A and B are shown apart, each in its own frame.
Chain A
Amino acid sequence: MRVVLAEDLFLLRDGLVRTLREHGFDVVSAVDNGPSLLRALLEEKPDVAVVDVRLPPTFTDEGLQAALEARRHHRGLPVLVLSQYVDQLYANELLASDDGGVGYLLKDRVTDTGQFVDAVRRVAAGGTVLDPQVIGRLLSRGDARGTISALTPRERDVLELMAQGRSNAAVAAALHFSESAVAKHTASIFAKLGIAPSTEDNRRVLAVLAYLRR
């Protein structure tokens, strides 16, 4: 699987390249600034891009802008964005940038290699991966507004993991449920929130996110 990587700090870039290679990814280009990133994305058209939000030359949201720009040229180009902090506004912009896999994770998540590599694969496969902190804030907002008050605590846990973009199997493993129990909870959540159920994993995630972001 071909990966383009953008990270301006050498130590981190080196670490990420190593981690990705160890897990069988082919890092075709590892760049350290916004313009090179855009060029690499347009020329290499990788299977997935792993991008730091803040890059030279402006040290603002250069990486995010390059990724969004590349997605306008190559529709559905999967992008996993890493950042020292997560912001709902950036999450919204990524989710709104046409279809195809997107991910938005705190940089710290790379310290858990297993989870990180899994996230890269899910995004490459067209899935949606959102940092637990983004989902956590959406849920606490939902709590305060009473939009998810109908859910049982168990269902809320399932909703949280589902919104992060996990599959039924992953939710089941994380909560020590059986997969069929997760399926039952999911059906109940969708019925309570009035979301049309969908058999396709990613569409389901997007429906949940759309509900939470209202």
Chain B
Amino acid sequence: MTGPQGTPLLSIEGLSLWYGAVQALWHIDLRIDEGECVAVIGANGAGKSSLVNAIAGVGRPRSGRIRLAGLDIESLQPSRVSALGIAIVPERRRLFPSLSIEENILVGAQVGRPGPWTLKKIYDLFPELVPIRSLGGHLVSGGQQQMAAIARALMANPRLLLCDEISLGLAPIIVARFYSMFPALRASGISILVVEQETRRALGACDRFYCLLDGKVSLSGRPLEVTEDAVNQSYFGIG
């Protein structure tokens, strides 16, 4: 499924990124169509975080293009990128410790995009946040923090939800719950980019995937069309 003129929602062409003399990303090409769920998998240090930062607009790409619905966004400030509809659930949640859970969630709304998400809808989605809404972000469990981080991103009414390592350090039952929300989110018009070290669940939930190895795309395709061996080989770079 593509946008009105066949324009992908997000398209990345030839993205290369350097940290000083070290090149973190090499000519990355990536596409997400409207309504799609796409996974980016890769080991620690494969370049996943660099990719997320580049899309968000922190970490400037040195070459290549990033377009959101046809609009160049690679030179925009992060606040502009968010205003155009990309919301991030950051790696390790990054809740603000001196804000309560509810205040953390409300920070997402500062983007000011019109849309369906309200505090009430958030609490319908995550009822367990209601009793802890006035607690500090650092006082609740990892799973609750992750819920708040997802809620914070949803409050920005995104077109593209970027989930960076949402399963990191969490019990499988909670991770399963997050992934089980994806179909409903997609049905509401949100496209999803999942960035994961843990490949099995990400591949199970997404339409297509890209595997990163040493800053390059080592494999891409549809999860059902590739063998486990091929994934392992392009993930670890061995075999």
Do A and B come together as binding partners? no
Which residues does A use to contact B, with CB under 8 Å?
A: none
Which residues does B use to contact A, with CB under 8 Å?
A: none
